[in-house]
Structures are given as structure tokens and as C-alpha cells.
Amino acid sequence: MAKLIKEILENTLNNLGIEKKIKEKQVLILWHQINNKEINLHTEAKYINRGVLFITVDNPTWAHQLLFMKEDLITKLNQKLDSNLVKDIRFNVGSISKTKNKTKVKKETGYQEVKLSLQEEEDIERITNQISDSKLKDNFYKLMKTFKEKNKWKKSNSWKVCPECSVLISPDNEKCPICELKNNEGLNLEVESLLSSSPWLSYKDIMELYPNLSKQEFESIKNNLIQKLKLKIDRLMIKALEKEIESQEVKVIIQNYVMLKTELKPTNLTKKLIEEVIGSNYMKIYQQL
């Protein structure tokens, strides 16, 4: 019987198109539940898209530390969800707004004043009557009722359909957050590729090619690339010293790292400047390469 009820619920939620939304909302809530107060103070769960959870971190140091915790965080989230929904976590450096979620809740509380029509109430009852367990039936009824009330409230308050995925969005937005994120991913990859090949480029330089890129987005892309290079340097230095790879390869990565941090061209790099950026301990190894 329990298995049958589960199948009915899953099929109904799928037909309504809300199962995915419920699970995604669970992930965002669970992020704060699985972490301690200190991590929650510096992070904000933004979106999940195709199994990738996007977390904004307020400084590069925390983002760097969380990279080492990623696998453990994914395991904890999936254990709580009892599924393998979360495939990866991406940490992006940026500003976090603790009041954003409060504002959103306040903005949508008006749905409680919306009244469903008799037909809408009957539709919900028709679906929930398939569930014999009274407690489960009551909870599912409330879930569906809230979902329909919210949609009705949004439509009556001039919320519009996202042009790419048909989800209802605020009149102030052009697209839903997930579609915005997908569109930005392509731009982010292009900018990251450009910085990888020309790490001395500044925001002003990039703006000439990508005028719609904000300063905050540029800094986030750049900081993420700096973190990647730092991890790569740590990993490859030992291999270079043991002659497993060409030392010149590591030197180039270190120089790119310094150029990213300083926005100076290769002709302006000096040993003194490199040491100032990577520190004396790393410099000793660098000089042995």
C-alpha cells in the first residue's frame, strides 16, 4: 500500500510539474541545515540546475575552503533528500543578501487571500481522494492548494510567463532565475576562456567585447579562475619537482596566476613581483623549477 501511495504521489506531482520545484526548494533549504553557523554566514544557496547547485560565497578564502568540502557536502545533501539529485556544487564569489529571501516571502504572502473556484477545489479533491491514508491525504491536499493559490495570485498580479521555460515570473524580471543562469553560463565560459589566454585583461578591456557584463560578474569569473589556478599550482608543483611533468608548464601557470591578480602584462613581470603575489615559500620552489 505504501508503495502504491508513493507511486500515485510521484505521478500526480509529475503531471502537475511541481515535483522538480519541490525538490529544488528542498535543496536550497537543506544547504543551511547541513552546514554550521559560520559557513551559513558566508554562503547563500542560489539555484540548482540539472543537478548543479550554485552557491554564492562572500569571499575567495571561504570559496577555496569549500572546494575541499564539496564531495562531503554533496553526500550530505543527497542523504537528506534520499536521492542523487545533487551532482555537483559550484562556488561563485559574490555578494550575498540575507534579506533577499525575506523580501520574496513578504512579496508573495498575498496568495493566502486568494480563493480557489469550486471547480479548482474539486480538481484537488479528485486527485487526493486516491490516497487512503488520511494524514497523507490532508498534507498533499494542502500542498496542492497552496501551489494553485500561488499561481492564481501571481496571474492576478501581472506575473508573466518566462519566454524560455513558461514558468511564472515577476513583472520586474525578463526571465526566470534558472534561464538567466543558463544564459549567463555561456557568457561566463567565454570570459573565463579569454582571461585564461590573456590573464592581464582588466574589466575595462573585457567591456569592449562584452558590454553587458557587470563588474560583479567579471570579478566573480576572475576570482573563480584564480582559485582554479591556485589549486592547479598546488597539485602540479610537487609533480614538477619530481620531474613527472615539465617545470616550464608550472612556471607558465604561476605567471598567469600573478597576471590575473595584478592585471600586468608578461613584459612587466619580475621575480620580486611574483614573490610578492605567491609568497616567499612558493617562490623558493618556483626558482627550483
What residue numbers bound the domain in which 270 lies? Answer: 180-288
Question: Is residue 229, in this structure, part of any structural domain at all?
Answer: yes
Q: Which of 1-10, 182-191, 279-288 has the highest mean pLDDT?
A: 279-288
Query: Do 78 and 109 sit in the same domain of this protein?
Result: no
Query: Do 142 and 224 sit in the same domain of this protein?
Result: no
pLDDT computed for residue 260 by the predictor: 94
Question: Is residue 67, in this structure, part of any structural domain at all?
Answer: yes
Q: Which of 83-92, 141-150, 162-171, 252-261 has the highest mean pLDDT?
A: 252-261
Query: Do 225 and 137 sit in the same domain of this protein?
Result: no
Q: What is the DSSP annotation of 57-92?
A: ESSHHHHHHHHHHHHHHHHHHHHHHTS----EEEEE
Query: Do 152 and 221 sit in the same domain of this protein?
Result: no
If you average pLDDT over residues 75-84, what whole number do you get?
Answer: 87
Question: Is residue 119, in this structure, part of any structural domain at all?
Answer: yes
CA distance 67 to 93: 12
Query: Do 44 and 10 sit in the same domain of this protein?
Result: yes
Residue ending a domain, among 157, 172, 196, is: 157
> Does residue 34 register a pLDDT over 70?
yes
If you average pLDDT over residues 193-198, what whole number do you get?
Answer: 90
What pLDDT digit, counting tens, does each position of 153-186 carry? 888 888 888 887 677 887 877 777 666 655 666 6
Reduce the DSSP state of residue 96 to 3 states and report it. Answer: coil
Residue 69, domain CATH: 3.30.300.180
Residue bearing the bigger pLDDT, 249 or 97? 249
Query: Do 283 and 184 sit in the same domain of this protein?
Result: yes
Query: Do 184 and 282 sit in the same domain of this protein?
Result: yes
Question: Is residue 28, in this structure, part of any structural domain at all?
Answer: yes
198: CB partners within 8 A, 6+ apart: none
Q: How many domains does the chain have?
A: 3
Question: Is residue 41, in this structure, part of any structural domain at all?
Answer: yes
Query: Do 50 and 11 sit in the same domain of this protein?
Result: yes
What pLDDT digit, counting tens, does each position of 256-268 carry? 999 999 999 999 9
119, 103 contact by CB (below 8 A): no
Reduce the DSSP state of residue 50 to 3 states and report it. Answer: coil
226, 207 contact by CB (below 8 A): no
pLDDT band at 77 (very low <50, low <70, confident <90, very high): very high
pTM of the model: 0.45
Give pairs for 36-42: CB < 8 Å, separation 24+: 39/66, 42/96
127, 144 contact by CB (below 8 A): yes
pLDDT band at 21 (very low <50, low <70, confident <90, very high): low
CA distance 240 to 140: 59
CA distance 95 to 270: 33
Question: Is residue 132, in this structure, part of any structural domain at all?
Answer: yes
CA distance 89 to 106: 29
Query: Do 125 and 37 sit in the same domain of this protein?
Result: no
Question: Torsion-angle region of residue 50: left (phi > 0), alpha (psi -120 to 50) or beta?
Answer: left
pLDDT band at 9 (very low <50, low <70, confident <90, very high): low
Average pLDDT, the chain: 80
Neighbouring CB atoms inside 10 A of 243's CB total 8
Query: Do 109 and 72 sit in the same domain of this protein?
Result: no
pLDDT band at 104 (very low <50, low <70, confident <90, very high): very low
Question: Is residue 14, in this structure, part of any structural domain at all?
Answer: yes
Query: Do 207 and 277 sit in the same domain of this protein?
Result: yes
Residue ending a domain, among 124, 142, 157, is: 157
Query: Do 13 and 82 sit in the same domain of this protein?
Result: yes
Say what the alpha-carbon torsion angle 57, 63, 67, 68 is, to the nearest 10 degrees: -120
Residue bearing the bigger pLDDT, 15 or 129? 129
